Amino acid sequence: MCGIVGFTGSAPAAGILLDGLKRLEYRGYDSSGMALNRPEGLLCLRAVGKVCKLAEKVAAAPEELRRSCCGIAHTRWATHGAPLERNAHPHLDQSRRFAIVHNGIIENYQALRKRLTEKGCEFSSDTDSEVLAHLIAETYRGDLLAAVAAALKQVSGTYGLAVTTSLEPGRIVVARRGSPLVIGLGDGENYVASDVAALIAHTRQVIYLTDGEVASVTPEHVEIRDLDNLPVEREATGIDWDVSQAEKGEYPHFMLKEIFEQPDALANTIRGRLDFEMGTSILNGMNLSPRDLAAIPRIVIAGCGTSMHAGMVGEYYFEDIAGIPTRVEQAAEFRYRNPIIEPNTMVIPISQSGETADTLAAVREAAAKGALVTAICNVVGSTIARESGRGVYLHAGPEIGVASTKAFSCQVAVLLMMALLLGRNRRLSRTEGLALAEEIAKLPELVRQVLDRADSIRDIARRFAQYDNFFYIGRGCLHPTALEGALKLKEISYVHAEGYHAAELKHGPISLLDERHPVLALANDIPGKDKIIGNIQECIARRAPVLAVANPGDAGVRDLGCDVIEVPRSSRFIAPIPTAVALQLFAYYVAAERGCEIDQPRNLAKSVTVE
Ligand code: F6R
């Protein structure tokens, strides 16, 4: 949730660190800071608010300090301690020779703080993180790597950590447990970050640290060890994102850019994965033989937020297309409810970032119970992707906007291709499989048709932007789509929006309806439409303004006199994707009309790496 950046080389560090922080701002922030390492001492600058506030301080710092070529920096999303300057990172030890930036939570910080205070340490923040600076100073015997490893042995909790000391100019030590940390390899310079987005302007060669590892990073060397000081060999991974993918370009917001990227993102997700000869899909990353696939008795999907909603669409696919009993777990619940995992149960963690703490915990629980863990992730080399061992990447490119958009569409497309594969492995005929493969192949074009209607969706959104409460209703695969549409609206426009199964309204929520409480009904022409039309009539009878999503030329819906967002006609399995894109645009334009900070919605962070 917080972001870490570090640089060591021969170029001035401050500008590189600021640039990295700006690229990480999307993860959530309330303050930021940097420590520049020079033999004559550390320079630590911190500021509350956006990274531009820190940039102002850097610009005002004396020129000689800005020439430091090694430093660490941080954007903070407050957990322990209010968003004040004294709580912003970096934190220094008392001698001001050691600086740390930390993501995660130190669970035993109170006990450590008490012991250190009794020893005479003075703390200057309310954070859990500050203990790390004092601990490292206490354990230091001339080697920062050894000191960090020794300090971390006393710590319980999670960390992505970067440390530097004026006693060793040019050196940064990083460590990870439960919070991502990646090292970017340059020529005579090296980088560290919590997220590859901070690095891709400089290098595409990265090394991902795994839990329990510490690494020393200097301009010329990277050395990885475990906490027992044993050397670890790790190959670098190539990142295929380019810088423009991580920039807004001509779009006012990342979210809008990513909504409009969906035809290309879907094309990348689908490319080479449909087999029109056999009417199936080819998902090599699943690494399961037809015999393995046939032995899967049950599927459990785990995810959070948007990824969980995609999983809920997938539940329909696996049961309907492949006939495999499937359930979806909120990932946070997975390990606490002691789920039933039979031999060969396939557990599918879904995570755009591949770093969400709850989903990662579900992966570990599933693996411990002997499940076939098959992840769906976007970020290549992310922790969930690596620990799952098998899976399917989205290839959607970096998703920077805090509100997830293209990841949802591509997750649903992957789930559909998985269901096609499993279906063909069981009861689906070649003809049926072929028909589905052909529909999947048309997804980029269908989504393009939705985007072509963006102006009309914007006009409708402007009219509906005045309302403070919404219900979104749908049936079948469009029920989770309604949940996702409501989530999009509430997270970026702060409008209260609830998704319901359309049949559920009359079991309670309908009592809230009146002329100030609109209902957005997903009335695509798929099985269940007649029932939705009945539900719309119930809402209209309660004077609720109704906005329907429907297919072109659908007189049945238009005759009801409600506003309509048109999406192209498709089968019920395909419908969630173009419909979700229309709902993303609707939420975006409502938020824009209400003047909200779309890419950095309040209280939210892109990647939730704490439980
Ligand atoms: C909503 C959103 C979140 C994420 C959730 C899981 O727009 O982005 O609900 O979907 O935090 O994140 P990942 O998919 O990275 O595990």
pLDDT tens-digit map of 287-340: 999 999 999 999 999 999 999 999 999 999 999 999 999 999 999 999 888 888
Q: Domain count of the chain? A: 3
Q: Give, to the nearest 10 degrees, the angle between helix 478-493 and helix 305-322.
A: 170
Burial 539-564 (b: 16+ CB within 10 A, else e): bbeeebbbbbbbbeebebbeebebeb
128: exposed, middle or buried (C-beta count within 10 Å: 0-12, 13-18, 19+)? buried
Alpha-carbon distances, residue 280 vs 311, 330, 338, 424, 519 (angstroms): 20, 29, 34, 6, 38
Under DSSP, the state recorded for 26 is G
431: exposed, middle or buried (C-beta count within 10 Å: 0-12, 13-18, 19+)? exposed
The residue whose C-alpha atom lies closest to atom 13 belonging to ligand 1 is 351
One domain for residues 129 and 236:
yes
Which of 409, 441, 473 is the last residue in one of the domains? 441
One domain for residues 303 and 407:
yes
CA 575 to chain centre: 24
The residue whose C-alpha atom lies closest to atom 10 belonging to ligand 1 is 306
Is the residue at 227 inside a domain?
A: yes
One domain for residues 196 and 253:
no
Which residues have any ligand 1 atom within 6 Å of their CB?
Answer: 304-307, 351-353, 356, 359, 403-404, 487, 491, 607-608
CATH label of the domain that carries residue 133? 3.60.20.10
One domain for residues 284 and 201:
no
Q: Which atom of ligand 1 is nearest to the CA of 308?
A: 10
Catalytic residues: 2, 606
CA atoms within 13 A on the CB side of 450: 31
One domain for residues 411 and 379:
yes
3-state helix, strand and coil shares in percent for the chain, rounded to the nearest 5: 40, 20, 40
Give the C-alpha separation, 31 to 1, whole Å: 12
Residue ranges of alpha helices (H) inside 452-477 are 454-464
The residue whose C-alpha atom lies closest to atom 16 belonging to ligand 1 is 351
CA angle 488/491/495 to nearest 5° reads 90
One domain for residues 240 and 326:
no
How close is the Cα of 402 to the center of ligand 1, in Å?
8
The alpha carbon dihedral of 77, 80, 81, 82 has a sign of: positive
Residue to substitute in 179, 254, 258, 306 for testing ligand 1 pocket (most ligand atoms within 8 angstroms of CB): 306
One domain for residues 509 and 428:
no
| H or E element at residue 35 | strand 31-38
The residue whose C-alpha atom lies closest to atom 9 belonging to ligand 1 is 305
The alpha carbon dihedral of 230, 158, 180, 73 has a sign of: negative
Q: Which atom of ligand 1 is nearest to the CA of 359?
A: 16
Q: Would you state the pLDDT for residue 27?
A: 65
Do the Cβ atoms of 397 and 371 come closer than 8 Å? Answer: no
Give the C-alpha separation, 550 to 547, whole Å: 10
Q: Would you state the pLDDT for residue 67?
A: 79
Q: Would you state the pLDDT for residue 404?
A: 95
How close is the Cα of 352 to the center of ligand 1, in Å?
7
One domain for residues 205 and 223:
yes
Which of 245, 268, 289 is the last residue in one of the domains? 245
Residue to substitute in 384, 608, 609, 611 for testing ligand 1 pocket (most ligand atoms within 8 angstroms of CB): 608
Residue to substitute in 254, 307, 360, 412 for testing ligand 1 pocket (most ligand atoms within 8 angstroms of CB): 307
Output the six-digit token pair for 539. 């809402």
Query: How many C-beta neighbours within 10 Å does residue 112 have?
Result: 21
Q: Would you state the pLDDT for residue 95?
A: 94
Do the Cβ atoms of 229 and 239 come closer than 8 Å? Answer: no
Do the Cβ atoms of 473 and 497 come closer than 8 Å? Answer: no
Domain that holds residue 570: 452-598
Q: Give, to the nearest 10 degrees, the angle between helix 443-451 and helix 576-593.
A: 30
CATH label of the domain that carries residue 584? 3.40.50.10490
How close is the Cα of 472 to the center of ligand 1, in Å?
19
How close is the Cα of 608 to the center of ligand 1, in Å?
8
Residue to substitute in 195, 356, 583, 602 for testing ligand 1 pocket (most ligand atoms within 8 angstroms of CB): 356
One domain for residues 288 and 392:
yes
Q: Would you state the pLDDT for residue 50?
A: 86
Q: Would you state the pLDDT for residue 546?
A: 97
Q: Kindly give, in sequence order, each residue whose CB lies less than 8 Å from that of residue 401, ignoring residues fewer than 6 positions away.
A: 26, 253, 254, 255, 257, 258, 598, 599
Give the C-alpha separation, 506 to 522, whole Å: 17
How close is the Cα of 165 to the center of ligand 1, in Å?
36
Q: Would you state the pLDDT for residue 602?
A: 74
Mean of all residue pLDDT scores within the chain: 93
How close is the Cα of 549 to the center of ligand 1, in Å?
24
Output the six-digit token pair for 491. 């997270």
Q: Which atom of ligand 1 is nearest to the CA of 309?
A: 10
The length of the chain, given as a count of residues: 611
Give the C-alpha separation, 207 to 228, whole Å: 20
Is the residue at 607 inside a domain?
A: no
How close is the Cα of 204 to the center of ligand 1, in Å?
25
One domain for residues 583 and 562:
yes
Q: Which atom of ligand 1 is nearest to the CA of 402?
A: 8
Is the residue at 179 inside a domain?
A: yes
For residue 74, which of 119, 132, 113, 118 has the smallest C-alpha distance? 132
Do the Cβ atoms of 116 and 138 come closer than 8 Å? Answer: yes
Is the residue at 606 inside a domain?
A: no
Q: Would you state the pLDDT for residue 2?
A: 82
Under DSSP, the state recorded for 267 is H
Q: Which atom of ligand 1 is nearest to the CA of 408?
A: 10
Low-confidence ranges of the chain (pLDDT < 70): 1, 26-28, 64, 79, 603-611
How close is the Cα of 502 to the center of ligand 1, in Å?
24
Question: What is the DSSP code string of 98-134?
Answer: EEEEEES-BTTHHHHHHHHHHTT----SS-STHHHHH
Which of 245, 276, 307 is the last residue in one of the domains? 245
Is the residue at 611 inside a domain?
A: no
Q: Which atom of ligand 1 is nearest to the CA of 488?
A: 7
One domain for residues 236 and 276:
no
Q: Would you state the pLDDT for residue 17?
A: 95
Is the residue at 402 inside a domain?
A: yes
One domain for residues 88 and 142:
yes
Do the Cβ atoms of 465 and 593 come closer than 8 Å? Answer: yes
